[in-house]
Amino acid sequence: MDIIYIRDLKVETVIGIYAWERQVKQSVILNLQMATDIRQAAATDQIEYTLNYKAVAKRLIDFVSHSQFQLVETLAEKITEVVMTEFNVPWVRLELNKRGAVRGAKDVGILIERGIKISQ
């Protein structure tokens, strides 16, 4: 299985449990690895045979920017559901970073994997 990835996708969204967090947008940073098979795309040089990372990024920007979850855990789970169901991805690994959430820490977040990564 091949991996298509997106790194450091920054999206502004309402996220958090505190009252002040419900009033402002904060940045979250997404890093995704998505399993796919690129062989037909490579052989034909045609975008329709691969996972279009631009389409994935645009969809996630739209989804995340309009979401208003309290927990990063919920947001992460919903992001992986979007990727897997809408883009037919069998396995995804997502790192969701909420910089500034903990004083003194450069960043904090969550790392999840969903689906079955198929080896070649």
- pLDDT by residue, tens only, the chain of 120 residues: 899 999 999 999 999 999 999 999 999 999 999 999 999 999 999 999 999 999 999 999 999 999 999 999 999 999 999 999 999 999 999 999 998 777 888 889 999 999 987 765
Residue 1 belongs to what H/E stretch? none
Residue 118 has what pLDDT?
72
What does the block give as tokens for 43?
């052989």
pTM score, whole prediction = 0.93
Residue 120 has what pLDDT?
57
Residue 36 has what pLDDT?
96
- What's the rounded Cα separation, in Å, for the pair 49 and 111? 28
Structural domains in the chain?
2-106 (3.30.1130.10)
Residue 89 has what pLDDT?
97
Catalytic residue among 54, 98, 106, 117: 98
Q: Rounded to the nearest 5°, which phi and psi values hold at 31?
A: -125, 120
* HEC secondary structure over 17-65: CCHHHHCCCEEEEEEEEEEECCHHHHHHCCHHHCCCHHHHHHHHHHHHH
* 54 annotated active-site: no
Residue 15 has what pLDDT?
96
Q: Rounded to the nearest 5°, which phi and psi values hold at 113?
A: -125, 140
